[in-house]
């Protein structure tokens, strides 16, 4: 495969000799490591990302006496997958990376670079692998490169979209048969029977995230998984159990194949089955053999290792083609050297070639959401707490137990371990502590420590989303509401973070966060928090200078140019526009009025609504300065707001606390360490030092 062309503004063609390698392919199998599962996620019925294994399931095959299985049962009530043309499935893997960035970061400088040459989905890799044998299946891919990693997403062509829209009801039902077969064969718990009376929901899924190396290229990709084969519960949060989990692929196929169906299976379906399973290390496929009416008469087990035998296609040829394709694409992206460029790749099966074009400009649909780009850009904040090198969770668990066992407590050892491991490592230490000693680490910490030192350690040991939920719940519990906490959290987080918090809040406290906010606040401030809690901010990444001018004029008309203030316009623009667009709006506002929007907000608003809007403004213009001001306020004047101090340090130490330290000294003329030294003491002070990246001092 070779690329040629002279101008990014024109269509570039890729000349491809698509050899039908067949079984006579003489090349050796590429160097490929066994795919390693490194994480997982679920997708709910609204196609929203969930950072859990809620939708995972276990294999429970029906008894032969249950045959035939009717795949049309409940077909009229099937909840089909909602299709949003503006949403790409690669967003889900981006959300996983966002939530687990410390585990995947390769740079210690704060710049977010992944340990990967490519990030994509299994379906994309499968599509590329099958290219040499696809005679009548076109496809389109989009690719972009950010910080050295190329992201690839599959998109519908206009012809495919029309084909989908023109599907008959019977064709749609046939597409749903596979989902119904999964329902007959799976259960949420290994000791339960499948529930087959509820409508199939095609939008829900469980996916694993895999990492592998192919001829020197590191790939990270998400893959929807059908079920786990196990008679006992598998805790996927345990990395070892995740690694050893035996996943099974579920399929349907013709019961008694005609000669034409057998030809289709041998030439096309089997290679798709093989590549799909091979890419995630699955060894077994279980197929429901159905007739044309959707009745499964038998269940057959296929060995993936045997599937390619006596077939007119070669696994080595397919994997070699994938390797060549990715190496050439990486070379192309390196030559383009533009993180805003999108490469459109079209395979036309009838023409036996691949074409690509390079697109730029505001009208080009971006592959990556804006919040993800912000995390990955060079301006990414610098943390003060990085993953510990040579991490040994078992040793750490034993050292913590030793530090608290018997008479007295070794607080320095607690600081050394808990305050110098990142959150993901701390969660693994807790699992090992529970496994080896049958005790809860947090409860032991509570019994051995006290005061602010205890609060800090307990906060660090919670998953960060649980910590946010606890802070929000505490802010609204009892008499009165701590509005500053609500502002600090909801006005500074992304859509993904807010959605994750909302889901976890419901699980932890049995109440909807939005309902709690509405009952605890009022007026314009309640409307602001409700808008933020909806997490509906545009994340397309598009910037429209003309729209920015229009929005700046609307803000001016809603505030300074009228008697009274139309808070709804401020609410709508500041809560819905993406951060890059807001920067343009703020610049345009200042250009027109001669002063900043912050000054206008202070003039037009007061109280909590003013503080909330200013928090959004500062997070857009300089988030480090915003959190520096929060730290300063926690220690300024008489007494210390330790809860606020602890919260900012816990939530920012793995993200951008080094930048916040710099902003603090720039704004207030003294180092953050000197302020901590003056306002705290003892082990609490030393623990804070460790988290902010300072050496211990008296």
Q: Say if CB 206 and CB 223 are below 8 A apart.
A: no
Same domain, 87 and 163: yes
State the Cα–Cα distance between residues 647 and 465, nearest whole angstrom.
Answer: 12
Same domain, 62 and 192: yes
In a domain, 151, yes or no: yes
State the Cα–Cα distance between residues 623 and 461, nearest whole angstrom.
Answer: 25
Name the residue among 611, 613, 519 with its Cα closest to residue 558: 613
**What 3-state DSSP class applies to 341?**
coil
Same domain, 419 and 343: no
CATH number at residue 457: 1.10.220.10
Name the residue among 96, 72, 82, 13 with its Cα closest to residue 344: 13
Residue with token string 């691949």: 354
Same domain, 38 and 87: yes
Residue ranges with strand state E in 336-432: 342-348, 353-359
Which residues have CB under 8 Å from 90's CB, separation 6+? 119, 120, 121, 151, 152, 153, 367, 368
Name the residue among 173, 197, 123, 196 with its Cα closest to residue 290: 173
In a domain, 648, yes or no: no
State the Cα–Cα distance between residues 409 and 448, nearest whole angstrom.
Answer: 7
Residues in the chain: 698
What is the block-wise mean pLDDT of the chain (698 residues), using blocks of 10 residues? 38 42 63 93 90 95 94 90 72 86 56 78 95 84 92 86 83 88 95 90 95 94 97 93 96 92 91 96 97 95 93 90 91 86 86 82 80 64 90 96 92 97 95 96 97 98 96 93 95 88 95 96 95 86 81 95 92 92 92 95 95 95 94 94 98 94 95 95 97 83
Beta bridge partners of 348: 353
HEC string of 106-140 equals: CCCCCCCCECCCEEEEHHHHHHHHCHHHCCCCCEE
And the tokens for 437? 């000693």
Q: How far out from the chain centre does Cα 74 lie?
A: 33
Q: Say if CB 607 and CB 525 are below 8 A apart.
A: yes
Name the residue among 581, 607, 687, 675 with its Cα closest to residue 636: 675
In a domain, 414, yes or no: yes
pLDDT for res 112: 53
pLDDT for res 564: 87
Residue 113, judged by CB atoms within 10 A of its CB (0-12, 13-18, 19+), counts as middle
Same domain, 322 and 425: no
Same domain, 404 and 364: no
In a domain, 347, yes or no: yes
As a whole number of angstroms, the longest Cα–Cα distance in the chain is 87
String of DSSP letters for 61-89: PPPGGGPSEETTTTGGG-BPPP--TT--T
**What 3-state DSSP class applies to 537?**
coil
Which residues have CB under 8 Å from 103's CB, separation 6+? 38, 39, 387, 424
**Residue 216 dihedral angles phi and psi, to the nearest 5°:** 90, -10
Same domain, 65 and 192: yes
Buried b (16+ CB within 10 A) or exposed e, 220-241: bbbbbbbbbbeeeebebeeeee
In a domain, 562, yes or no: no
In a domain, 659, yes or no: no
Which residues have CB under 8 Å from 457's CB, separation 6+? 414, 418, 419, 445, 449, 687
For the chain, helix, strand, coil in percent to 5 are 50, 15, 35
In a domain, 204, yes or no: yes
Which residues have CB under 8 Å from 314's CB, separation 6+? 21, 22, 23, 24, 25, 308
Number of domains within the chain? 2
State the Cα–Cα distance between residues 541 and 366, nearest whole angstrom.
Answer: 7
State the Cα–Cα distance between residues 418 and 413, nearest whole angstrom.
Answer: 8
String of DSSP letters for 478-506: SSS--HHHHHHHHTT--HHHHHHHHHHHH
Which residue, of 461, 476, 504, is where some domain finishes? Answer: 461
State the Cα–Cα distance between residues 56 and 43, nearest whole angstrom.
Answer: 10
Same domain, 337 and 414: no
Same domain, 198 and 116: yes
Same domain, 181 and 101: yes
String of DSSP letters for 147-193: TTEEEEEEE--HHHHHHHHT--HHHHHHHHHHHHHHHHHEESSTTS-
Q: Say if CB 677 and CB 685 are below 8 A apart.
A: yes
Which residues have CB under 8 Å from 400's CB, separation 6+? 413, 414, 417, 418, 429, 433, 441, 444
Which residue, of 461, 478, 513, is where some domain finishes? Answer: 461
In a domain, 525, yes or no: no
State the Cα–Cα distance between residues 343 and 364, nearest whole angstrom.
Answer: 10
Around Cβ 277, how many Cβ atoms within 10 Å?
24
State the Cα–Cα distance between residues 688 and 135, nearest whole angstrom.
Answer: 63
pLDDT for res 11: 42
Same domain, 321 and 442: no
DSSP state of 302: E
Range of the domain at 439: 394-461
Q: At what angle do helices 657-668 and 607-635 cross, to 10 degrees?
A: 90
Same domain, 165 and 102: yes
């Amino acid at each position: 495969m070779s690329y040629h062309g002279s101008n990014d503004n024109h269509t570039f063609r890729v000349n491809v000799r698509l050899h039908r390698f067949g079984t006579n392919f003489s090349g050796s199998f590429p160097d490929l490591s066994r795919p390693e599962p490194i994480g997982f996620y679920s997708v709910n019925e609204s196609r929203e990302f969930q950072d859990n294994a809620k939708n995972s399931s276990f294999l429970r095959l029906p008894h032969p006496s249950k045959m035939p299985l009717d795949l049309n049962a409940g077909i009229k009530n099937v909840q089909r997958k909602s299709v949003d043309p503006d949403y790409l499935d690669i967003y889900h893997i981006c959300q996983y990376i966002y939530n687990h960035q410390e585990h995947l970061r390769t740079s210690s400088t704060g710049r977010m670079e992944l340990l990967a040459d490519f990030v994509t989905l299994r379906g994309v890799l499968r599509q590329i692998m099958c290219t040499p044998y696809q005679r009548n299946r076109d496809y389109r891919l989009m690719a972009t490169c950010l910080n050295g990693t190329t992201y690839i997403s599959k998109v519908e062509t206009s012809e495919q979209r029309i084909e989908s829209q023109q599907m008959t009801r019977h064709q749609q039902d046939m597409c749903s048969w596979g989902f119904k077969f999964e329902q007959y064969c799976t259960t949420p718990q290994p000791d339960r029977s499948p529930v087959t009376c509820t409508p199939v929901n095609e939008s829900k899924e469980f996916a694993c995230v895999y990492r592998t190396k192919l001829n020197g290229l590191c790939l990270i990709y998400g893959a929807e998984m059908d079920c786990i084969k196990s008679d006992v519960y598998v805790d996927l949060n345990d990395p070892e159990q995740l690694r050893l989990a035996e996943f099974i692929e579920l399929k349907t196929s013709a019961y008694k194949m005609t000669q034409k169906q057998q030809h289709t299976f041998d030439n096309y379906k089997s290679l798709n089955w093989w590549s799909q399973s091979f890419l995630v290390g699955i060894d077994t496929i279980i197929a429901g053999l159905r007739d044309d009416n959707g009745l499964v008469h038998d269940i057959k087990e296929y060995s993936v290792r045997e599937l390619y035998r006596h077939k007119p296609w070669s696994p080595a040829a397919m994997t070699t083609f994938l390797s060549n394709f990715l190496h050439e694409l990486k070379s192309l992206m390196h030559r383009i050297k533009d993180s805003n460029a999108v490469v459109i790749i079209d395979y036309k099966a009838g023409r036996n070639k691949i074409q690509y074009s390079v697109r730029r400009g505001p009208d080009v649909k971006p592959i990556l959401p804006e919040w993800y780009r912000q995390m990955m850009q060079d301006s990414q904040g610098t943390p003060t707490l990085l993953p510990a090198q040579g991490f040994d969770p078992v040793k750490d668990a034993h050292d913590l137990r030793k530090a608290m066992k018997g008479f007295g407590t070794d607080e320095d050892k607690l600081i050394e371990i808990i305050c110098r491991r990142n959150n993901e490592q701390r969660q693994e230490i807790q699992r090992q502590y529970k496994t080896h000693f049958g005790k809860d680490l947090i409860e032991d910490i509570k019994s051995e420590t006290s005061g602010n030192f205890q609060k800090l350690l307990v906060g660090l040991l919670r998953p960060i989303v649980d910590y946010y939920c606890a802070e929000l719940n505490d802010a609204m519990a009892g008499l009165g509401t701590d509005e500053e906490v609500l502002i600090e959290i909801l006005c500074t987080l992304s859509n993904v973070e807010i959605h994750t918090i909302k889901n976890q809040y419901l699980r932890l406290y049995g109440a909807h966060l939005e309902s709690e906010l509405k009952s605890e606040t009022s007026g314009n401030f309640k409307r602001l928090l409700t808008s933020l809690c909806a997490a509906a901010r545009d994340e397309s990444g598009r910037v429209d200078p003309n729209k920015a001018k229009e929005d700046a004029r609307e803000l001016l008309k809603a505030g300074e140019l009228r008697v009274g203030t139309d808070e709804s316009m401020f609410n709508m623009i500041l809560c819905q526009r993406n951060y890059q667009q807001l920067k343009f709006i703020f610049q345009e506002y200042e250009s027109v009025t001669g002063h900043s929007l912050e000054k206008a907000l202070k003039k037009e608003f007061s109280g909590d609504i003013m503080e909330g809007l200013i928090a959004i403004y500062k997070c857009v213009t300089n988030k480090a300065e915003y959190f520096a001001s929060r730290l300063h306020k926690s220690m300024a004047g008489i007494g210390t707001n330790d809860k606020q101090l602890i919260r900012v340090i816990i939530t920012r130490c793995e993200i951008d606390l080094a930048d916040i330290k710099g902003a603090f000294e720039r704004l207030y003329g003294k180092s953050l360490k000197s302020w901590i030294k003056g306002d705290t003491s003892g082990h609490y002070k030393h623990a804070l030092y460790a988290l902010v990246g300072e050496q211990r001092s008296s």
